[in-house]
Structure 1
Amino acid sequence: MLFGTGALQKRKRDGGEEVWLVGDVAADHSVGIMVVAKELEMEGKDGAFELRLRVPDVKHSLMGLMKKREVGEFLSGALAGAMTKAVLAPLETIRTRMVVGVGSRHIIGNFLEITEKQGWQGLWAGNSINMLRIVPTQAIELTTFEWVRRTVSSAQESWTLNGGPKLQVGHVNVDLSLSWVSPVAVGGAAAGIVSTLICHPLEVIKDRLTISREAYPTIALAFRKIYKNHGIGGLYAGISPTLIGMLPYSTCYYFMYETIKKSYCQSKNKKALNRAELLLVGALSGLTASTISFPLEVARKRLMVGSLQGQCPPNMVAALQEVVREEGLRGLYRGWGASSLKVMPNSGITWMFYELWKDVLLVDRSHL
């Protein structure tokens, strides 16, 4: 027997058919099933009745959502980041230790120290928070890059055809053209800044777990201790050098990737790169961007974990001065080798997986 929560209404269609409409919820209590329906129709003709339940097509709605470009890019970035980090977590652990001056100055030495003290699982110290961090970070970063790049390109095309806005200063008219702006560079800068502002606290917690597992044994405890001792500011320790360092890194990173990829495709008369070529182009773009911004990365790490050693520089400039005073200019690139070994495969594998997932999730948008 069917029951409806709304009032039962009788209407007539053209042709004399009777239609009964009921509220939003209908239930069959004989089997204990409740159906959320937009309409419950009962049509009668010549003494025969037909009962129809119109239920929202959830599967169709989800499929439509998945076909949206931004959703596909978001999921592609999240999956690519997760798969990459699962493979490269040991290099991330060693790189972080070398950058902040914990343990051996050499890659092999750090590797042996970690495995001796913590076993093989020590190489994945902080990887759970790393995975929680990289999934939203990579998804937000790549989606922001794609969206901003398209938006700027669209604005450039529109202003070229219709003319851009003009600014009048006294008797002088200034044409505000966007022709000199690189959509890729703007998208890269925006991607780094947006993802950093949203996900920076997870980066702080991840570094604490990596450097001092005894003091911060779990993610929840690390969050509580940092917030209790330093407030919200503690979760954003090092945010200034991170944002400053992110601008040259992210801008260069995306610009180099798109430029190398486009140039290579033109030289080989290809429309797209294969997986091996994506791996190589991504690795080169990551190495270039990392080399340019690495001193700021050193300062950032010093600020983020300096309180653990009882010596926390007050700002980025002080952190850079401290490094130069203690270790000379070479200290600004301490850990660069380990960082490159991590950044190159990380960047290459990320782009390879990202383009792969885009091909799968955006199969009907091959022009992207």
Structure 2
Amino acid sequence: MAFLLSQSQKNNHNYAHGVFGDLDIQHHLHSRFQEFLGSREVGEFMSGALAGAMTKAILAPLETIRTRMVVGVGSKNIAGSFIQVIEQQGWQGLWAGNMINMLRIIPTQAVELGTFECVKRSMTSLQHSSKHNQCPKLLIGSINFNLSFSWISPVAVAGAAAGIASTLVCHPLEVLKDRLTVSPEAYPNLGIAIRNIYKDGGIGAFYAGISPTLVGMLPYSTCYYFMYDTMKKSYCENRNKKSLSRPEMLLIGALAGFTASTISFPLEVARKRLMVGALQGKCPPNMAAALSEVIREEGLKGLYRGWGASCLKVMPSSGITWMFYEAWKDILLVQKANSL
């Protein structure tokens, strides 16, 4: 009898220990998950996603016109493109491909802005630590190199990393968006677009134009973030301010987008040619061939065909994105930190 009682008590103890142990594990995991959701990195990724979604919802018609003009579809001027789209497809035609555009921009902006912030902090921290520690040295023959990071711009490196990361993750969505925008007859919805693109070229077809995209993204993204950060700091120093107002963010973001777009626009033309070339029955084999084709057919000015429409889209998009991004960061990060 005593044996049975002791055995029963032991089983009850093990059961209680197992139950409460599982509860402790669940509570620990829940706490860690809440801590992860409240981290700075998640807040920055969320801010980027929300800013991108709100911006694209507002500026979808300009994106449609810009894409049509860059790839040479329809009218050669902005007003004519608007009228042509409305006559052919109605007002809803200005939002052609907007569903995939929204699905594209949310992860794109989340990855891009989140990566930018993380890499910028890491590079700044690396530079700061290298100032207080002896730099590593590289000896090649009789030449001694100091491997210092002081000459590297954290903002430029972060901008390049942000562009590359977002492009690698989200390029297939960009291809789908362009196909839906340029040829809604052949690709009436997302499901058919995915099936037809895969049927025509397999997985590789979703990465059509990835090389010129990466090459074009590097100067654009690097210049874009560098210009925004530089203009923001200079403006605040000249005005003796700690931060920008919302209208100032809108203006500086628009100027940064204008500068970066102007510098890298010929590569954007080549990228679009490669991505949608199959629709016209001719696809240049590489970026150099696409640039040569444009110059041969339209001269040097062809490299900037659609530049006005691009600026009309890029400038407000860039400004609005930064304005929304900084606003969401204030909500998700600054106010949360102040409440702790």
TM above 0.5: yes
How many residue pairs end up in the alignment?
A: 328
Measured after TM superposition, the shift of residue 219 of structure 1 is: 1.1
**Residue from 73, 77, 82 that aligns with 2:53:** 82
**Which of 94, 111, 127 in structure 2 is aligned with 1:123?**
94
State the partner residue of 1:95.
Answer: 66
Q: 2:222 aligns with which of 233, 236, 251?
A: 251
State how far apart, in whole Å, the 2-side matches of 1:7 and 1:109 are.
81
The residue type equivalent to 2:140 in the other structure is V
Q: Within 5 A, what are the aligned runs for 1:232-271?
A: 232-271=203-242
What residue in structure 2 maps to residue 311 of structure 1? 282
Task: Kindly state the Cα deviation for residue 65 of structure 1 after the two structures are TM-superposed.
Answer: 2.5
Q: Which structure 2 residue ranges, 5 or more long, are not aligned?
A: 1-9
Q: Which amino acid aligns with 1:204?
A: V
Write the distance in 2 (CA, Å) between the matches of 1:232 and 1:67. Answer: 36
3-state DSSP of counterpart to 1:263: helix
Q: 2:332 maps to what in 1? A: 361
Q: How far apart, CA to CA, are the structure 2 residues paired with 1:7 and 1:301?
A: 69
Mapped partners of 2:26, 2:40: distance in 1:
27
Specify the alignment match of 2:195 in structure 1: 224
Separation in 1, partners of 2:292, 2:200:
27
Unaligned runs of 5+ in 1: 1-5, 11-19, 26-35, 40-53
- Deviation of 1:117 after TM superposition, in Å, equals 1.2
Q: Which residue of 1 aligns with 2:13?
A: 9
2:181 aligned with 1:177, yes or no? no
Please report how far the alpha carbon of residue 60 of structure 1 lies from its aligned counterpart in structure 2 after TM superposition. 5.5
Q: SS of the counterpart of 1:9?
A: helix
Quick check: which one's helix share is greater? 2
* 1:323–1:331 CA contact under 8 A, matched in 2: yes
| Alpha-carbon distance between aligned partners in 1 of 2:220 and 2:64, rounded to the nearest angstrom | 21
In structure 2, how many angstroms separate the alpha carbons of the residues matched to 1:182 and 1:69?
22
Consecutive aligned runs of 4 or more in structure 1 exceeding 6 Å deviation: none
Aligned to 1:332: 303
Which letter does structure 1 place at the counterpart of 2:269? Answer: V
**d(CA) in 2 for partners of 1:276, 1:61:** 38
Deviation at 1:64, TM superposition (A): 2.5
Partner Cα separation in structure 1 for residue 278 and residue 253 of structure 2: 35
- State the SS of the aligned residue for 2:145: strand
Kindly indicate whether the alpha-carbon contact (under 8 Å) linking 1:8 and 1:23 is maintained by their aligned counterparts in 2. Answer: no
CA distance in 2, matches of 1:191, 1:149: 10
Q: Structure 1: how far apart are the matches of 2:143 and 2:286?
A: 43
- TM-superposition CA deviations, 1:85-139 (whole Å, max 9, x none): 0000000000000000000001111111111111111100000000000000000
Q: Say yes or no: does 1:132 pair with 2:127.
A: no
Deviation at 1:7, TM superposition (A): 4.9
Moved more, 221-230 or 182-191: 221-230
Indicate the residue corresponding to 2:7 in structure 1. Answer: none
Q: What is the CA-CA distance between 1:8 and the residue it aligns to?
A: 2.6
8 Å CA contact 1:76–1:357 kept in 2: the answer is yes
Determine the structure 2 residue equivalent to 1:30: none
2:40 corresponds in structure 1 to 69
Rg (Cα) greater in structure: 1
CA deviation map 1:39-95 (0-9, x unaligned): 5xxxxxxxxxxxxxx972887555423321100000000000000000000000000
Q: Equivalent of 2:16, from 15, 18, 21?
A: 21
Quote the residue 1:143 is aligned against: 114
> Does residue 204 of the first structure (1) align with residue 189 of the second (2)?
no
Separation (CA, whole Å) in 2 of partners of 1:232 and 1:90: 29
Partner of 1:152: 123
Distance in 1 separating the partners of 2:82 and 2:142: 68
- Distance in 1 of aligned mates of 2:312 and 2:196: 32
The two structures, once aligned, show a CA RMSD in angstroms of: 1.9
Q: Deviation per CA, 1:280-320, whole angstroms, max 9, x where unpaired?
A: 00000000000000000000000000110111111111111
- Out of 262, 265, 270, the position equivalent to 1:299 is 270
Identity of aligned residues (%): 68
Change (3 A) 1:7 1:121: farther
Structure with a larger share of its residues in strand: 1
| Residue number in structure 2 paired with 1:282 | 253
What does the per-residue CA deviation read over 1:246-295, in whole Å, with 9 as the maximum and x for residues that have no partner?
01000000000000000000000000001000000000000000000000
**Gap change, CA 1:120 and 1:57, over 3 Å in 2:** farther
Go from structure 1 to structure 2 and tell me whether the alpha carbon gap of 1:329 and 1:154 turns closer, same or farther (over 3 Å shift). same
Instruction: Choose from 184, 192, 196 the match for 2:163.
Output: 192
Residue identity in the other structure for 1:337: G
Match of 1:167, SS state, is: strand
